[in-house]
Amino acid sequence: MSDRPTVAVLDYGSGNVHSAVRALESAGADVELTQDRQKLLSADGLVVPGVGAFAAVMDALNATEAPRWIGQRIAGGRPVLGICVGHQVLFERGVEHGIAAEGLGEWPGEVTALPEDVVVPHMGWNTVTPPEGSVLFEGIEDERFYFVHSYAVQKWDFDQSIPQMRAPAVTWAHHGADFVAAVENGPLSATQFHPEKSGEAGQKLLRNWVRSLKN
C-alpha cells in the first residue's frame, strides 16, 4: 500500500488539467482526475483547477454539485487547493465585462479587471510577496511564478477587528496594481498563478502542499 498522499483533481470540464495531474504526481502524490463524490471527499487533498471566465467556471461547478463537496471538505478540515480561476471562485463574487457572478464565498472579496493601463492578460513570470511563516512558499519566497489572467482580487476585505479570528495568510503580487496571488487559510489554500507551469519553483510549492497533507 502506498504511503504517498492521495489527491483528487476535480474533473468538471475545466479544459486541459493533465499538466496539473502530472505535476502533483511529480510532487509526491497519488493523483486521480475525478468527479466521483466519494473520491473527492475521501482523498487526502482536493485540487480545484479553473481556466476561462469566472461565471462559466461557477456554472460548471454548480452543474456537478462541486460546491457542496468543496464545502464539506473545508468544514471537515480536509485540505483543498484552488488554482487560477479555481482560486478566484473561492471569493464572494466576480465581475467580468460588467456581469457579476456569485462565487463560493469562502473569503470576502471581489474579482475585478486589472487596471486598463497595463497589458492584459497578465501573462508570464512575476515575483510574489508571501507572508512570514507561509507553508506554501517555504524555501521559495524569492522565486517567480507563471501567471495567465486579466482579473484578480485587488482588495482584501477580511475583517481583522475581531482578535479571536485568525486572519488568513495572504501573498501579494503586482501588475498595474497589487493583487492577491495566494491565500493560506487552514485547510483551504489557493494560488492565482499556475504552479504546474512555474518550473521548479512551482514544483516546490506543490511538494510543500502535498507534504502538508500528511501533517
Q: Which residue has the cell 497519488?
A: 30
CA distances from 174 to 128, 132, 166, 192, 203 (A): 8, 18, 25, 12, 22
Residue 51 carries which side chain, given as an amino acid letter? V
Q: Which residue has the cell 502535498?
A: 210
DSSP sequence for 132-147: TT-STTTT-TT-EEEE
Q: Quick check: 48 and 67 in contact, CB under 8 A?
A: no
Read off the pLDDT of residues 28-56 as tens digits, 9 standing for 90 and up: 999 999 999 999 999 999 999 998 899 99
pLDDT per residue as tens, the chain (215 positions): 578 999 999 999 877 799 999 999 999 999 999 999 999 999 999 999 998 899 999 999 999 999 999 999 999 999 999 999 999 999 999 999 888 999 999 999 999 999 988 989 999 999 999 999 999 999 999 999 999 999 999 999 887 667 777 789 999 999 999 999 999 999 999 999 999 999 999 999 999 999 999 87
CA distances from 94 to 19, 39, 116, 136, 214 (A): 26, 29, 17, 25, 33
Residues known to be catalytic: 84, 194, 196
Q: Quick check: 196 and 202 in contact, CB under 8 A?
A: yes
Of 194, 186, 189, 109, which Cα lies nearest the Cα of 149? 194
Domain ranges for the chain: 6-212
Strand ranges across the sheet with 169-174: 30-34, 6-10, 45-48, 80-83, 188-191, 178-185, 169-174
CATH 3.30.300.30 fits 6-212, yes or no: no
20: its cell numbers: 496539473
For the whole model, what pTM was predicted? 0.95
Task: Kindly state the helix (H) or strand (E) to which residue 175 belongs, with its residue range.
Answer: none
192: its cell numbers: 492565482
